[in-house]
Amino acid sequence: MTDKTSIRVLIADDHAIVREGLKQILADTNDIIVAGEAANGLEAIKIARDSHCQVMLLDISMPDRSGIEVLKQIKKEEPHLAVLMLSMHRENQYAIRSIKAGASGYLNKQSAPKELVNAIRLVASGMKYISPALAQELANHINDDHEISPHDSLSDREYQTLTMIASGKTVSNIAKELSLSVKTVSEYRSRLLVKMKLRNSAELTHYAIKNQLVELE
């Protein structure tokens, strides 16, 4: 089915095997068409501009820039494109930031194929996709609004740096993975330590684990 009633979807993920898996899932539907794909943030922004689609599946961990940065740029240029964020991270790590940045929903990559298809259909109709786990996280966030957590004051890039350091990655590793200079990552680290009133990476890691911002192996 390829008529005008079909939902046109874009897939942005830096792992080819993930993109192929998503395409296979969507190939089994009769109302969803994959109209384009991207392997990094810049490509995602470009295909969002060039394609007349209703939904984008966007990985939150892109190699050249954070998925949330990409999301913000896309929503600025193509506000009517519904963006579903995909991630291996639990909802309490990035979901709230994603929704605040304009995402139509947040889906864990381990979700069942049926849940993905339902989420695409829902956001294509103009609604938000809220999983039970995200609904709980939103409820917790509302209850905690009177007492903002230190990590809520961080920029998206500072928050990403925090979670990567807490996961055991060095500044050099992070710089390479994010295609940034070591100096830039060091500045993010310094800023987030000041904002959170922490002294070093060990305290930062302890904070992240205590607040479940990283997943322990």
Domain end call among 81, 99, 133: 133
Distance CA 106, CA 86 (A): 6
* 161 shares its domain with 123: no
* 81 shares its domain with 114: yes
* Token pair for 190: 């310094």
Q: What 8-state DSSP symbol labels residue 129? A: B
* 55 shares its domain with 114: yes
Domain end call among 100, 133, 166: 133
CB 37 within 8 A of CB 26: no
- Residue 138 domain-assigned? no
Residues constituting the chain: 217
Lowest mean pLDDT among 79-83, 86-90, 201-205: 86-90
| Residues 45-79 pLDDT 10s | 999 998 889 999 999 888 777 888 899 999 999 99
* 168 shares its domain with 124: no
CATH of the domain at 170: 1.10.10.10
| Residues 8-44 pLDDT 10s | 999 999 999 999 999 999 999 999 999 999 999 999 9
* 126 shares its domain with 156: no
Q: Could you tell me where the beta strands, DSSP code E, fall in the chain? A: 7-12, 32-38, 55-59, 82-87, 105-108
CB 47 within 8 A of CB 137: no
- Residue 87 domain-assigned? yes
| Residues 99-139 pLDDT 10s | 888 999 998 888 889 999 999 999 999 999 988 877 877 77
Helix (H) or strand (E) holding 49: helix 41-50
pLDDT given at position 123: 96
Residue 1, pLDDT above cutoff 50: no
- Residue 66 domain-assigned? yes
Q: Following CA atoms 110, 114, 116, 118 in sequence, which dihedral angle do they give, to the nearest 10 degrees? A: -150
pLDDT given at position 2: 47
Segments forming the whole domain that contains residue 164? 150-210
| Residues 137-185 pLDDT 10s | 777 766 655 556 788 778 888 888 998 898 899 999 988 888 889 999 9
pLDDT given at position 53: 93
